[in-house]
Structure 1
Amino acid sequence: MGLKTDAGRAVKLAKNILASRRAQRRLTAKLAEQPPLEPHRFRIGVYFADGKVNLYQLRQWYAPLVELAKTHPVLVLSRASGAALQLLDESPLPVAYVRRVADLERVIHQQDLHVVFYVNQNAKNFQMMRYGRRWHVFINHGESDKMYMTTNQFKAYDYALIAGDAARARLDRVLWDYDFDKRAIPIGRPQADHYLDGTELPYTPDEREVVLYAPTWEGDRGAAAYGSIASHGVHLVRALLATGRHRVIYRPHPRSGVLDPAYAAANREIIDELRQANAEDATAQHVYDDGPTLGWQLAAADVAIVDISAMVYDRLAAGKPLLITRPVNPAAQVDTSGYLQACEWLAAETGERMLARVDEVAHDEGALERLGYWVERYFGDTTPGATTERFHAAVDHLLAEWERFAALHADDPVDDDEGEADDDELEATA
């Protein structure tokens, strides 16, 4: 058994090496086609050290960052070849590939970055955070009540841009000796201002009720086992398809099934069910959505069904009917101190009973009124444009603080040129 496991690992490593080298060759060719970055143009950077499998974390910031770039140009710093390849194809923002620390240092000094944003907690963030004389700012990749949202890693950053009162209260329960008034800046959810920007719906609106089912992945441990595809998904989607009065938008997490074969099989079954339903009725126009853009789904759906994840709060920001699947794993940690204490739950039951529950919440005016309180608590003023204004004001504040500190410490020695011998040849390409 041990030899078989070792052999499997060796094969996987060999495949990763080959994939890395192929990606590196393609990337080298693509980079040769790119014009050089204009020196000293960018004061705002977005640091992304992950591979392309986690690009969803960065994609949700595209629209707000493009809007910000109209005033303050923004540069994406990508560390992994696979992600860099994808970003060069799709990113609406300029991209710098900085695989080695030496590459990172070169871009830093050429661009004089004052503010660096981080969308996740990748360990390689610390290779960027070693550089002083700039603000390192955690902006996260979503708002939720998952345990990830209360990590002590918040303290590693100079500032964090948080959604609102609920986020602050959540952190206040966990973090000791953290200066919330200075370091946690509430901005709401600027993505919500762009949910329908230039989007052409992949179906023709009609009398059908549109149901968004957007489950998360299975999780890597019991405490984070929030995924519902295997427990709820197949029976739920099958029941919705059978009514003839619903249109399903199915948007699974991109990591669905990476650890659990049964979860992957359930995911494939749902996709097959949607394909079959469309083949039998061309007017149904059910949607399997694995595209890079998140926003139109949240705004267009009449009712949404999501797992405990950032999708709860992305939808909450839209202020429309919402159900959350109740995890079947008893070890799953559910924080009921926030919205989850009053949300509309969907238990894993028969398809017919889950369908009845969906219909109940979709047409319950009282549920929608109760939702309003939580929208305000999590995001503050959600009037169109208000959260974008707060985001820009936060950036202006950080840049003004940079100028103030730069003036105070203009005569201090600079030690940013101390290199690191941590440039691994192999890197994440997935």
Structure 2
Amino acid sequence: MGLFGRLLSDARTAIKVLRNGLRTRRRRNEANRFAATDPRPIPGSIQIGVYFADTRVNLYQIRQWYAPLAELAKHRGVAIIARSPGAYLTLREESPVPVLYLRTVTDIEGFLEQQDLATMLYVNQNIKNFQMFRYGRMWHVFINHGESDKIYMTSNQYKAYDYAFVAGQAALDRLAKKLWNYDVANRVIAIGRPQSDHLVDHVPFAGNGRTVVFYAPTWEGDRPTMAYGSIASHGVALAEAVIASPGHRLIYRPHPRSGVNSREYREANQQIQRMIAAADPAAGHLFDAGGELGWQIAVADVQVTDISAMVYDRLATGKPLVVTRPASPTAEVDESGFLASAEWMSTADLADPLGFLDRVITDEASRSNLAFWANHHFGDTTPGSSTARFHAAIDLLVERWQEQAATHVDQPRVEHDALDDEDDSDEESVPQAD
């Protein structure tokens, strides 16, 4: 690259930085206006906090908790704490529970001094979670944003939390096997999958007699060991076959980050969307980028997904499920659990993808296998069971908090210091994501 090329590149970078700064300033000002006028929770009314320090690009991680949090709020005071102005603006429009914009550490301390917060929940491993960890008079609980066999699910970061809520026996076994010197028996509580109790709350999808194929691929990943995405390797051929069939109907819901690191992946994603847009409207094929996830899992006759939490969201229903075999030889695949007996779709199976899917739908042995693994991963999947376990786990921690608080009555909740870290991050910042 010559001098002119470097100058041009520098100018483009400077313009991008300026635009991002102006956009962030606008969002921050808008967030400040709403935060100053929106009603705030009554002091002493919030017992359960949900800390979301991430940006809008990862809102999918907390969206799947909306319904369980709304149900919990019938029994306990619940509020979401947002640090990013963009995330806050979206959350305040979507969330069924109160959302607070606490941009600075001083804002957080003011909120904590007003509330008897017993438990703070975390849906991801964002590094900014550690800004909240400094407050010791509450339980810090990792609830994650899904059950899967990704290597993310055994991160040593689990040890930073007082407790973790997991789905079931598979997660308990996974953590016990992978993490050194981690007290799984006393620090991990199995609650099932409370989201599964709300899958059919809203179904904006009228049936038309076709076999519904729900294709929900993950993104391409940010490192070779997590290259699980199938859009470029499987997706186009699969979508072509389903769309061309007079007896099948496609729901295509790619991961929100699909294509952020790979041009090939991005172009394949766009190609599938164009195919759906050009298809016969009467077929009802759908590109789904909506905020709600659950009804798609409930209505599908078969689900095709990559190694991700989407595998286990579907597994909890016990209905036909296909997992794509990663085309990347560097992708790390743990086949010691359910994936050891999953219905794997390799690129070779794309010679007849509809035949493959139809076999899975009708095969009784496959259904029996799914039922076994659903119990192993989630325990009792009877409707309402996971919600009951989630509430019981929260009640247990509140009771333990009350016992601790009673023995430390002279200890202040907040130890003030000079730290006043602001958070102006927005979509241009892409933190760790599963």
Output the TM-score relative to the length of structure 1.
0.95
- Aligned-residue sequence identity (percent) comes to 53
Give the aligned partner of residue 253 of structure 2: 251
Runs of 4+ in 1 over 3 A off after TM superposition: 1-9, 349-352, 411-415
Pairing 1:294-309 to 2, within 5 Å after superposition: 294-309=293-308
Aligned to 1:173, what secondary structure does the other structure show? helix
Give the aligned partner of residue 45 of structure 1: 49
* 1:188 maps onto 2:192 in alignment: yes
* 1:201 maps onto 2:200 in alignment: no
* 1:167 maps onto 2:171 in alignment: yes
Give the aligned partner of residue 129 of structure 2: 125
Pairing 1:253-268 to 2, within 5 Å after superposition: 253-268=255-270
Task: Give the letter for the 2:274 counterpart.
Answer: D
Q: Provide the C-alpha distance between the structure 2 equivalents of 1:412 and 1:105, rounded to a whole number of angstroms.
A: 15
* Native 8 Å contact 1:225 1:332 kept in 2: yes
Pairing 1:272-351 to 2, within 5 Å after superposition: 272-277=274-279, 280=280, 282-349=281-348, 351=350
Q: Provide the C-alpha distance between the structure 2 equivalents of 1:14 and 1:169, rounded to a whole number of angstroms.
A: 49
Change in Cα spacing, 1:419 to 1:42, as seen in structure 2 (3 Å) is farther
For 1:180-219, what per-residue CA distance to the aligned partner results, in whole angstroms no more than 9, with x for missing partners? 111000000000001011x1333x2132000100001111
Unaligned runs of 5+ in 2: 429-434
Task: Give the letter for the 1:336 counterpart.
Answer: E
Q: Provide the C-alpha distance between the structure 2 equivalents of 1:419 and 1:362, rounded to a whole number of angstroms.
A: 61
User: 1:413 Cα shift?
Assistant: 5.8
Q: CA RMSD in A?
A: 1.5
Pairing 1:105-144 to 2, within 5 Å after superposition: 105-144=109-148
Give the aligned partner of residue 408 of structure 2: 409
Task: Give the letter for the 1:427 counterpart.
Answer: S
Aligned to 1:283, what secondary structure does the other structure show? helix
Q: Provide the C-alpha distance between the structure 1 equivalents of 2:40 and 2:366, rounded to a whole number of angstroms.
A: 53
Q: Provide the C-alpha distance between the structure 2 equivalents of 1:326 and 1:106, rounded to a whole number of angstroms.
A: 50
Aligned to 2:120, what secondary structure does the other structure show? strand
Change in Cα spacing, 1:414 to 1:380, as seen in structure 2 (3 Å) is closer
Give the aligned partner of residue 431 of structure 2: none
Task: Give the letter for the 2:204 counterpart.
Answer: L
For 1:245-298, what per-residue CA distance to the aligned partner results, in whole angstroms no more than 9, with x for missing partners? 001000000001111111111111101111111xx3x32111111001111011
Aligned to 2:335, what secondary structure does the other structure show? coil
Aligned to 1:407, what secondary structure does the other structure show? helix
* Native 8 Å contact 1:80 1:429 kept in 2: no
Change in Cα spacing, 1:140 to 1:422, as seen in structure 2 (3 Å) is same
Give the aligned partner of residue 427 of structure 1: 425
Pairing 1:5-44 to 2, within 5 Å after superposition: 6-44=10-48
* 1:92 maps onto 2:96 in alignment: yes
* Native 8 Å contact 1:77 1:96 kept in 2: yes
Aligned to 1:272, what secondary structure does the other structure show? helix
User: 1:38 Cα shift?
Assistant: 1.5
Unaligned runs of 5+ in 1: none
Q: Provide the C-alpha distance between the structure 2 equivalents of 1:64 and 1:14, rounded to a whole number of angstroms.
A: 40
Output the TM-score relative to the length of structure 2.
0.95
For 1:54-82, what per-residue CA distance to the aligned partner results, in whole angstroms no more than 9, with x for missing partners? 00000000001100110002100000000
* Native 8 Å contact 1:316 1:322 kept in 2: yes
Give the aligned partner of residue 224 of structure 2: 222
User: 1:159 Cα shift?
Assistant: 0.2
